[in-house]
Amino acid sequence: MTEVPNEGIICLPPGAGRRYAMGRLTAIFKADGVETGEQYSASEWHLDPGQPGVGAHRHEANDEIFLILDGCPDFLLEETWTACPAGTFLRIPAGVLHDFRNAGRAPARFFSMFLGDGFERNMPGIVNWFAAREPTV
């Protein structure tokens, strides 16, 4: 990578960022509160085929934005699962029940922005939650 002219600019190569592995689900945080003045977090999510999401949930004070990059994950929007092929844009307002999953046969990948402070601080706990539910051999 070439030198970036302003220290506030973030320029990461593909695959770079803070990686959180959750079995067959991976999140890579590109920027979060530290870099954004606690205004938003930006992340890339990878879901293997057949991968459920994190479970239905709401963010009471924060909107969430998604742009589907690859595959066709399903998103739960209140009570309805909706197939979202590559190129789909979603804005989920604060308070709306949602989840995601990859019921397809191909990997899925999407970009997410969490508007507001704090989501990234939950990631270690989410990783631990997934680890506690992984089947033992």
Q: How far apart are CA 133 and CA 73, in angstroms?
A: 22
Q: What is the pLDDT of residues 44-55, one digit of tens each?
A: 999 999 988 888
Q: What is the pLDDT of residues 69-127, one digit of tens each?
A: 999 999 999 999 999 999 999 999 999 999 999 999 999 999 999 987 666 666 656 66
Contact 107, 49 (CB under 8 A): yes
How far are the Cα atoms of 49, 51, 87, 132, 135 from residue 115, in angstroms, in the given order?
A: 28, 25, 20, 29, 34
Q: What is the CA radius of gyration of the chain?
A: 15
User: What percentage of the chain reaches a pLDDT higher than 70?
Assistant: 81
Q: Which of the listed CATH numbers 3.40.50.720, 2.40.110.10, 2.60.120.10, 3.30.230.30 matches domain 18-132?
A: 2.60.120.10
What was the pLDDT predicted at 137? 44
pTM value surpassing 0.85: no
**What mean pLDDT comes out for the span 48-64?**
89
The ranges assigned to domains in the chain are 18-132
